[in-house]
Structure 1
Amino acid sequence: MRIRFAAALAFMAMISFGAFARGAEKDSLLTEKPEPQVQNAWFEKIQIRGYAQMRYNGLLESNPDLKCDQCDKSWGGDGGGFFFRRIRIIFSGQIHPRVYFYIQPDFASGGSNMAQIRDAYFDLGLDANNEFRLRIGQSKVPFGFENMQSSQNRLPLDRHDGMNSAVPNERETGVFFYYAPKEIRKRFSNLVSSGLKGSGDYGVFGLGVYNGQGPNALDKNKNLHLVSRITYPFELPSGQIIEGSFQGYTGKYHVNRNNKTDSDQVEFNELRYGPSLIIYPQPFGLQAEYNWGTGPEYDPQTNDVKQSPLGGGYVLASYMMEANSKVIIPFTRYHYFRGGKKFELDATRHRVKELEIGVEWQFNKNFELVTMYTISDRTFENSLDPDNRQKGSLLRLQAQVNF
C-alpha cells in the first residue's frame, strides 16, 4: 500500500514538472534574446578637438624694445601686426581599457606656420581603474599649476616667467608615474569641463624622469632630470574647491654659450622647488605660485655664466560672472622673476616685474576674446647685450576659437 502511494506521488510530481518545463520553454520563446555586443574598432574611439589663437599686440605700445620672445614673438620689435600664436589639433582616445593616447601638433609654432609636435604620449594603466598610470612619451612636466594648465583655459595670454623658465615649452620626453583615486580623477576632469580653469589630470602624486634638454631633445650629459609633485583638490561643504600643491625637480643642464664669454663651462646643476595654491573662481578666484632654486645665469660684470640663485612667482585674482548667457572674467596678475633662463643664449639674465589687467569674454563655448593691458619692467642680458633694461606698457588682444 505504501509502495503504491509513493508511486502515485512520484507520478504526480513528474506530471507537474513536465507542465512547468513546457511553460518555461514557451516563455523563453516569447522572450527576445539579447543582441551580442559589438566592440567599436580602435579608430572609432578617437576624439578630435582643438583651438586657434590670433593676437594683436600693437595698441598703445610705449616701448618697441620691450619684448619677451619666450612669451610672444610678435610682442615688441619692428614687426608685429596680426599673429597666430597657436593653431592646435588634438587627437586622443582610450583605445584599450588600459591604454590612452594623446597627440597634439601645433601648426603656428613660433609664428612660422610650421607644424611641430607638442605632445605625443600614451598612458598605460597599471590597475583596472587606471588609478596608477605610466605616461610614456613627450608631455608636460608636472611642475607648476599654470605650466600644466592648457593655454586654451589660461586667463593671462602668457605663462609667468618665474616657473615657466623651468622647462622650455613646459614639455619633455620621459616616463612619468601618476596616481589619483578614481573620484579625484573625475574631479580633475570636471574642473576643466566646467569652465573653472583646471590644469587637468596629472595625478595626486607624480614622479618622473626626463632628458632635461627640451622637448624631444637628446640628453647631452647622460644625466636624467628627476621631478616630483603632490597636489590635492579639496572640496568644501559649500562646493568651493581649493587645491594645494608642492613640486620640485633636479638635474644637470647643458647651456648654449657664446664662445666670446670668459669660460667654456656648459654643464650646470639646477634645482627648483615651490608651492601652489589655487582657489577656483566660484565666483572669486585666486592663484599663487612661487619657486626657489639655483641654476645657470649670465653675469654681465664678469662676462661669464655662473651657478646662481633664482626665484619667482605670481599672484592672480579673478572673478567669474555670467551676463546674458555670456561668461565674463575680469582678472589681474602680478608676477616677478629673478634668475637665468637656461634655454636662452648664455642662460640670459632676467629681472622681471610685470602687472597685467585684463578681461576674458566668452561669447559662447566656441569663441572668446581677451583684452589685457600690460605694464612691464624687464631686464634681459647676455654676452650679445650685457646692459639691457626695458620699461613700457601695451594693450594686447587675443581672439580664440574652440572646436
Structure 2
Amino acid sequence: MKSSFGHRLLALTALGVWVAFAAPAAADTADEIRALKARLNKLEAQEAEARRAAKAAAAQAAAAAAHPAPVVIAGAPPAPKHWYEKISIRGYTQMRYNDILSAHNFNDAYAYGDRSVGPRQNFFLRRIRLIFSGDISDHLYLYLQPDFASSPSGTFSSSPSSVVSGVPYYGYYNYQVGTYNLNAGNFAQLRDAYADISVDDKKEFRFRVGQSKIPYGFTNMQSSQNRLTLDRPDGLNTCCKDERDLGIFFYYTPEHMRHLFRDLVKNNLKGSGDYGMFAFGVYNGQGANRVELNKGVHLVTRFTYPYVFENGQVVEASIQGYTGRFVPATSAIIPSLGMATNWAGYRPNQYPWNASPFTGAVAPFVNAPGYNNPGNFNTTYYPTPLAGVWNPSCVNGCVGVKDERVAVTGIIYPQPFGVFAEWNWGRGPVLDPYQLVVKDGKLNGGYVIVTYKYDDKEFGLGTFFPYVQWQQYRGGAKTEVNAPYNRVNELEVGVEWQPLPEVEFTAAYAHMNRTNLALAPYRQWQGDLLRMQLQWNY
C-alpha cells in the first residue's frame, strides 16, 4: 500500500516539474500548485480510509474465528424451536353496564349467568381472559386460560330486617333490606388447563387431559368471546358450573370436519370450535376449580354432524347426554312454602313441620346414599317429625344425588339467516317444596335464538347481528347452595355490532321472570332489564 502511494507521489512531482518548465509562461503557476495540493490531500484521505477498513476487516475475521457461525447445508431443515417459542398469546375483556328498568320486587333481582344483575349495580368487568396456546410438537397441543375478573360470592345480600309481629305467614322474609360489605373482586382464577394428545398424524383422534369444557350443549362449548347473547341459557348451563371440569375426554374429528369447525369460527358464523364429531369423557362432576366430593365420576358422550349444502349453507344436528351423581352444598335456612313464586316464605300455622327444630333455621336434609337418611335409620324427622334429632350431615361417605341429562341441538349458521336451538331433559338435585329435603327431581328446559348477519359494505359500519332469544327452564339449580328450584321464562331482544374485528358492542333488553337463587326463600322476580357490553379482543 505504501509503495503505491509513493509511485503516485513521484508521478505528481514529475508532472509539476513539467508544468513548471514546459507550460507557457502565461500559465498561472500558483493555481496549478494549489490543484496539485488538493489532489494530494484527497489521496492521503483515501489511503487513511483504506487502512481503517483493513483494520476493521481484520477485527471481524478474528471475531469470526473465535465464534464460528454454524455451517448451513443447502436444503437442510431449520433448527427446531424451543417449546416456549411455539406458544401464542391472545385474549379479550368484557365490560358491562346493567340497568333494571322496572321490577315487581327490586331486591330479588338476580340472574344465574350474570352476577352484575342486582340492585344498585352499574359497571362490571364480566371477563378478563388471557389465552396461552400452541402446538408443542406434532402430537401435543397445550392450552391455558386464566380469568382475572373472578369475584367471591356475597358481594351483595338481601338480609331480612325483622319479623313483623302478628304476621306469622310472611313475617321473616317479606320485609328485607339490603346489607353490604367490602368484599373485593377481580381475582385470578383458572378456567382451562389441558393438553391435547393426538394419536395420529392428522390429529383426528385425540385425548384432552386436564380441566376443560364438558362436551354437552352447543351453547356451553361456544366461547364467550364469540357467543351472540350475553349469557348462556339456564336450561343448558345449569348442567355444569363454569361449563368445565377436571377429567379425560376423547375426541374424534375427521380431517375435513376439523377444517369446517375451524372455519365456522374464523368466518364469524358463531361456531363452537372443534369438540369432536364424536366425544366421550370421564370427569369429576362437581364443577371447575372444585374439590371432588364422592368416589364416583360422571360420564358424558356427544355426537354431532354438520352438513354443508351446495350453496355453502351449513346446518348442524347434535345429541348428547351425561350421567353421574352430584353432591350438593347446603346451608341453614328457615323452611317455608312458595319457593320460586312471588309468595315464597309462607309459613302457615298448620305447617306440618311448624315445631322444633323447624321453627328456626335448619340445613336441608340430602336424601341420597351415604347421608343420615331413612335407609340408614339414623333420623326420625324425615319424612315426618316425631321425635329425635334432625341431622342432615354426610356420615357414610356421601355418594350424591342422581344427576343425568340428555339434550338435542339444531343449528342453522347465520349466512345470513341463522337459528340456534337446544333442549334438554333429565333429573338432578333439587330442594323440595317444603324446603327441607334436597332430592333428585325432574328438569327440562332450553332456548331458541333467531338471528341475521348483516355486513354493511356501503358505509363500512361493520357487521351487525340482531337477534331474539326465548328461554325456559324448570328444575333444580344443583350448583347453587341447597339446589333451589329454578323457574325461568325469559324473552330477550338485542343486537351485536362489530365495527372493527377487535371491538364488539352488544345492547340487549330482556323481560325476565326468574328465581332469586342467591337467597332463601328463593322468591320469583319479574322485571325489565337493559344491558350493554363492550368487548375488546387482543
TM-score by length of 2: 0.67
Q: Is 1:395 matched up with 2:530?
A: yes
- Aligned residue in 1 for 2:494: 358
Query: Of the candidates 191, 198, 204, which is equivalent to residue 264 of structure 2?
Result: 191
Contact 1:242 1:279 in 2 (8 A): yes
Q: Is 1:320 matched up with 2:393?
A: no
Contact 2:285 2:292 in 1 (8 A): yes
> Residue 243 of structure 1: CA displacement?
0.7
- Aligned residue in 2 for 1:307: 440
In structure 2, relative to structure 1, the CA distance for the partners of 1:381 and 1:218 (3 Å cut) is closer
> Residue 36 of structure 1: CA displacement?
4.0
- Aligned residue in 1 for 2:423: 290
Richer in strand (by share): 1
> Residue 158 of structure 1: CA displacement?
0.3
Greater CA drift, 95-104 or 42-51: 42-51
In structure 2, relative to structure 1, the CA distance for the partners of 1:93 and 1:378 (3 Å cut) is same
- Aligned residue in 1 for 2:479: 343
Q: Distance in 1 between matches of 2:117 and 2:313?
A: 37
Secondary structure of the residue that 2:482 maps to in structure 1? helix
Q: Distance in 1 between matches of 2:455 and 2:89?
A: 28
- Aligned residue in 1 for 2:513: 377
Deviations 1:234-274 (A, max 9, x none): 10111000011000000000010125145343620111001
List structure 1 segments (4+ residues) > 6 angstroms apart after TM superposition. none
> Residue 71 of structure 1: CA displacement?
1.2
Q: Distance in 2 between matches of 1:72 and 1:278?
A: 25
Secondary structure of the residue that 1:221 maps to in structure 2? coil
Secondary structure of the residue that 2:506 maps to in structure 1? strand
Residue identity opposite 1:328 in structure 2: F
Q: Within 5 Å, which residues of 2 pair with 1:69-148?
A: 69-77=111-119, 79-110=120-151, 112-148=185-221
> Residue 60 of structure 1: CA displacement?
2.5
Q: Distance in 2 between matches of 1:388 and 1:368?
A: 35
> Residue 62 of structure 1: CA displacement?
3.5
Q: Is 1:169 matched up with 2:242?
A: yes
Q: Distance in 1 between matches of 2:489 and 2:108?
A: 12
Q: Within 5 Å, which residues of 2 pair with 1:210-249?
A: 210-249=283-322
Greater CA drift, 258-267 or 192-201: 258-267
Q: How many corresponding residue pairs?
A: 370
Q: Within 5 Å, which residues of 2 pair with 1:150-165?
A: 150-165=223-238
> Residue 386 of structure 1: CA displacement?
2.7
Query: Of the candidates 75, 79, 90, which is equivalent to residue 49 of structure 1?
Result: 90
> Residue 302 of structure 1: CA displacement?
5.2
In structure 2, relative to structure 1, the CA distance for the partners of 1:255 and 1:98 (3 Å cut) is same
In structure 2, relative to structure 1, the CA distance for the partners of 1:369 and 1:381 (3 Å cut) is closer
Deviations 1:109-168 (A, max 9, x none): 137110001000000001111100000000000000000000011111000000100000
Q: Distance in 2 between matches of 1:297 and 1:238?
A: 47
Q: Distance in 2 between matches of 1:371 and 1:316?
A: 16
Q: Distance in 1 between matches of 2:515 and 2:130?
A: 35
What runs of 5+ residues in structure 2 fail to find an aligned partner?
Answer: 1-72, 153-184, 333-361, 369-399
What runs of 5+ residues in structure 1 fail to find an aligned partner?
Answer: 1-31
Q: Distance in 2 between matches of 1:49 and 1:262?
A: 45
Contact 1:211 1:217 in 2 (8 A): no
Structure showing greater radius of gyration is 2
Residue identity opposite 1:333 in structure 2: Q
- Aligned residue in 1 for 2:404: 271
- Aligned residue in 2 for 1:25: none
Secondary structure of the residue that 2:250 maps to in structure 1? strand
Q: Is 1:206 matched up with 2:247?
A: no
Q: Distance in 2 between matches of 1:161 and 1:262?
A: 23
Q: Distance in 2 between matches of 1:213 and 1:162?
A: 18
**Alignment RMSD (CA, Å):** 1.6
Q: Distance in 1 between matches of 2:107 and 2:331?
A: 22
Q: Within 5 Å, which residues of 2 pair with 1:25-40?
A: 33-40=74-81
Q: Is 1:58 matched up with 2:99?
A: yes
Deviations 1:6-56 (A, max 9, x none): xxxxxxxxxxxxxxxxxxxxxxxxxx9325422222112111100000000
| Identical amino acids, percent of aligned pairs | 47
> Residue 73 of structure 1: CA displacement?
1.1
- Aligned residue in 2 for 1:9: none
Residue identity opposite 1:280 in structure 2: Y
> Residue 299 of structure 1: CA displacement?
1.7
